[in-house]
Chain A
Amino acid sequence: GIQVEQSPPDLILQEGANSTLRCNFSDSVNNLQWFHQNPWGQLINLFYIPSGTKQNGRLSATTVATERYSLLYISSSQTTDSGVYFCAVDLYSGAGSYQLTFGKGTKLSVIP
């Protein structure tokens, strides 16, 4: 099956710093999503970005589908940005499921 690798696995930032999270995937995909999982386990949608670049406030994401990677940028980090960031891709399986395959996540800790 498709492999999704995220880096770095852990990241500690001082409040106000910027960071880049990376997601590599092993096959062509239909779609890619970035999520933030809060301490209570809720997955919060950040971006739906099969290709191109999107921005939402302090966050932006870029997916280069031809090179099979995506980047999530966090600028001016805040303590509320702490949590686990997941990249997930959907690969058309032939059964039409569009099931998401997740990476293992990047655990971000922002310290005051």
Chain B
Amino acid sequence: DTGVSQDPRHKITKRGQNVTFRCDPISEHNRLYWYRQTLGQGPEFLTYFQNEAQLEKSRLLSDRFSAERPKGSFSTLEIQRTEQGDSAMYLCASSLISGGYGHEQFFGPGTRLTVL
């Protein structure tokens, strides 16, 4: 049984560059979430997918951010024209939703982004 995996684990980039992160959820999970965590804070919700459909976005997700989940499996989060304020840990989580009730979320190890 494998948990949620994320790639890369660390990314250092220069301001203005584009970056893309990947998340592979637990295989039978239909929900996939992206969160962002800055130093000294708890994670904050960015967006989520139910299967392949992106159903909600936080106001934190500016138009430089885009997320996809083709075929309802893995997901990618792209940040265009990175800014120093984008430096953070990007966390992916997955869960299994059934019967209209929320269930336990499981998190990946995160991708730590540093924008120079």
Contacts and interface: CB of A to CB of B under 8 A. Distances in A.
Interface in B77-116: 89, 91, 93, 95, 97, 101-107, 109-110, 112
Contact of A92 (B95, B102, B103, B106): B102
Interface in A45-62: 45, 48
B65 interface: no
B45 A101 contact: yes
Nearest to B95: A98
B42 A97 contact: no
Contacts of A92: 102
Interface string A75-103: 00000000000101010110111111111
A30 interface: yes
Contacts of A45: 104, 106-107
A43 to B, nearest CB: 4
A24 interface: no
Of listed B43, B56, B102, B109, residue having the most chain A CB within 10 A: B102
* A35, A92, A99: residue with the most chain B Cβ atoms closer than 10 Å: A99
Contacts of A41: 37, 89, 109-110, 112
Q: Which 5 A-B pairs have the closest CB atoms?
A: A102-B42, A98-B102, A43-B107, A99-B45, A48-B104
Interface of A: 4, 30-31, 33, 35, 40-43, 45, 48, 86, 88, 90, 92-93, 95-105
